[in-house]
């Protein structure tokens, strides 16, 4: 999902306004998540914020602050209650996460031409909030689909 965010520049300490397709959000520098490799297909976008509002319900917006890129995301456990959130050692090291680090897991939502929504459960985005560091990971031997239908059940 792409949109054209508008960032109102302020000093680095002050919150700034970010205009998105879902409205205006106030963002501070401490909320910026660094993606050192970007995201596959969007490698130039390296800094994102996770935006939520009551109007968005269970969804959030992963919005780039330096590129016109955004993704509608959801916690994969809201889609599949027994979704297994486990990282391999390599991904833990990249995220500078200990075994007991509480991580934020997000799955990208996409839509087909008929408007049917799908969730990518195979390659979730994982964020270490302690380091404000994120990567899209693809666990080995994942049994989860790339296009899991999103239903209201």
Neighbours of 141 (CB within 10 A): 4
Whole-model pTM above 0.75?
Answer: yes
> Which SS3 state, helix, strand or coil, does residue 55 take?
helix
The yes/no answer on whether domain 6-149 falls in CATH 3.40.50.300 is no
Q: pLDDT per position in the chain (153 positions), as tens?
A: 444 444 444 446 688 888 888 889 999 999 999 999 999 999 999 999 999 999 899 999 999 998 889 999 999 999 999 998 888 899 999 999 998 999 999 999 999 999 999 999 999 999 999 999 999 998 777 889 899 999 865
| Distance (Å, whole) CA 50 – CA 24 | 13
């Amino acid at each position: 999902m792409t949109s054209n965010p508008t960032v109102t520049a302020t000093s680095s300490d002050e919150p700034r306004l970010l205009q998105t397709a879902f409205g205006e959000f106030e963002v501070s520098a401490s909320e910026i998540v660094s993606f050192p490799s970007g995201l596959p297909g969007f490698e130039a976008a390296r800094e994102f914020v996770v935006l939520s509002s009551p109007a968005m319900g269970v969804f959030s917006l992963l919005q780039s602050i330096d590129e016109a890129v955004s993704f509608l995301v959801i916690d994969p456990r809201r889609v599949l209650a027994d979704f297994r959130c486990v990282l391999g050692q390599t991904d833990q090291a990249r995220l500078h996460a200990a075994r007991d680090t509480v991580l934020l897991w997000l799955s990208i939502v996409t839509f087909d031409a008929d408007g049917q929504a799908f969730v990518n459960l195979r390659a979730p985005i994982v964020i270490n909030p302690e380091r404000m560091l994120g990567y899209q990971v693809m666990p080995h031997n994942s049994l989860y689909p790339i296009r899991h239908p999103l239903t209201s059940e």
